[in-house]
Amino acid sequence: FSSVAQLILCVFYLTSPPNAIHNIIFCSQSWRKKSKVVVAFDIHLTPPQSQIEAREMEKTTISHNWLRIKYNHPFKRINFLLFLLIFLSSPRQVLAATSSVCAAENNHLAYINKSNSINSNPAPKSLMRAWMCHGRTHREMVEKLASAGIARSPICKEALLKVDRKNYVLDPEFAYDDAPQPIGYGATISAPHMHAHVLEDLLPPLLQSSKHKTDKQLSILDVGCGSGYLVSVFGRMVEKERMEPKLNKGKVYGIDVIPQLVEMSRKNILKEDGDLLESDTVQVMVGDGWKGYPEGAPYNAIHVGAAAATFPKNLMAQLAVGGVMVIPVGPDGGVQYLYRVERVGDDGGVVGIGGDDSKIGFLEEDFKVYRVLGVRYVPLVRTDD
């Protein structure tokens, strides 16, 4: 059965349409325990181009169920290793950024229309080596992220090295696996390669703002701060002014809708990064990600660590001109993409620059939206109004 199941997985992978999104999960931690290895393979075809197609697809969903292969002694299974070799050498991306239209983009939002269409990045970053940057130590994990070309800049690599991931996961034994980890309350800490990818995407607007406004403090918002890991990494990036390249000192705000996670973040930060709290470089509090945190706006960078069903207008209005938001968008359990939202104008008004924020409007021409890559995130929870 094992060999047949592997062959089926290979056939599904190699013959599925090029516009399919593939989600592969290798439970690498089970190799060390020598218990069992689970290979999960899921194919979701790209979403419909119209609302009519969406309704039709709801009736006949095209999706392969999870196929699972279990091994009691993985090191004795040569055929399993051969399957991994075939999969890893296949010239396709594990997570494919396609040119199809995400269902979340067809939700009648004012700024998602023909006059301001979603742009695909001209050169999508390859993540072929993502999910493989496991390390036995914190440094080894970061070095693998760097050698894989995911953590490219010295600033991001230095910040990652300063914050030990073991302080922010429930099971330190698997802290350096390049995979998401549950942190309780239905939340997860993202895989290290996703954190590194986000840091690299948000560093340019921070550098750009520092170049043009040399004395202005940077402001960063982490929505869905979870266990506090990325808040601390951002904090290490902006805890002091840098001269080469020029990067201003800044402040990081972390919010989460779940009070227990906010308390967990605070306790985790205090383990080895407590100086960030003492210096007021980072601040964590309970907050609704859909509404953002106006008190810290306008933001040069916003990271959203959970998938929004639609683009949150209130959060976008808190971006400074030149600021960038990285956010996953898509239905829970459905096709999701990571988007890069760049603010290019302020005709609709910017929250936090003075005046009555309640009168701030929303103008689609103020933003450019780029689709980056396919992802799978937990949903962004919205509190009752």
Would you please indicate which residues are annotated as catalytic (active-site) residues?
A: 190
Contact 302, 15 (CB under 8 A): no
Burial of 11 by CB count in 10 Å (0-12 exposed, 13-18 middle, 19+ buried)? exposed
> Any idea what DSSP says for residue 45?
P
The C-alpha atoms of residue 106 and residue 113 are separated, in whole angstroms, by: 8
131: CB partners within 8 A, 6+ apart: 24, 26, 94, 178, 179, 191, 193
Q: Is 381 helix (H, G, I), strand (E, B) or coil?
A: coil
What φ, ψ does residue 232 adopt, rounded to 5°?
Answer: -70, -40
What φ, ψ does residue 84 adopt, rounded to 5°?
Answer: -60, -40
> Any idea what DSSP says for residue 48?
P
- Cα–Cα nearest to 193, from 130, 147, 129, 125: 130
Dmax of the chain from CA atoms?
Answer: 68
The C-alpha atoms of residue 8 and residue 223 are separated, in whole angstroms, by: 40
β-partners of residue 221 are 253, 302
Read off the amino acid at residue 30: S
